[in-house]
């Protein structure tokens, strides 16, 4: 997917906090790259500052965050505010994985993350196709290509 200037859309991807579960981000990196996105994969144990710095340096179009170890609620808090401080307050933030510890309803979990400023919140097991479709939809106003719902 390309910007109106012809450059590929750039996504910052990483595993937030002290989480070391990397497989999901490797899958997302591959899937989004196959769709023509430029993916900057920061790897594991990524801090807020690292996400924001990478987004600013690359003029990123979105930040995608993974958290599998259950502490996403703590690790993700404050990232939107860091983005605002850096002048990228409107950048789309997408987060997914096993985001909380204990048995909480998905609606409750999603509401918590939306209140923290996340645009999309995904439960464990979400397909790459769903994430790709959502990113394309969110970024389509900035894109050169027309969004095609049938694209995988």
Tell me the pTM: 0.90
The SS3 call for residue 136 is: helix
Report the side by side order of strands in the sheet with 62-67: 38-41, 10-15, 62-67, 93-97, 120-122
**Would you kindly state where each structural domain of the chain is located, as residue ranges?**
8-17+45-96+114-143
Give pLDDT tens digits for 38-87. 999 999 999 999 999 999 999 999 999 999 998 999 999 999 999 999 99
49 is written with which tokens? Answer: 């500052």
Residues tagged active-site:
19, 21
pLDDT reported for residue 26: 95
pLDDT reported for residue 144: 62
Class of 8-17+45-96+114-143 in CATH: alpha beta
């Amino acid at each position: 997917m390309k910007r109106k200037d012809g450059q590929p859309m750039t996504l910052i991807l990483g595993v937030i906090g002290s989480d070391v579960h990397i497989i999901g981000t490797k899958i997302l990196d591959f899937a989004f790259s196959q769709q023509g996105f430029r993916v900057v994969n920061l790897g594991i144990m990524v801090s807020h500052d690292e996400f924001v710095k990478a987004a600013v340096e690359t003029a990123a179009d979105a930040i995608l965050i993974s958290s599998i170890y259950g502490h996403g609620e703590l690790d993700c808090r404050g990232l939107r505010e860091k983005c605002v401080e850096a002048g990228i307050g409107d950048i789309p933030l997408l987060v997914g994985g096993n985001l909380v510890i204990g048995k909480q309803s998905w609606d409750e979990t999603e509401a918590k993350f939306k209140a923290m400023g996340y645009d999309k919140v995904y439960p464990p097991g979400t397909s790459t196709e769903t994430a790709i479709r959502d990113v394309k939809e969110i970024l389509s106003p900035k894109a050169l290509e027309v969004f095609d719902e049938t694209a995988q």
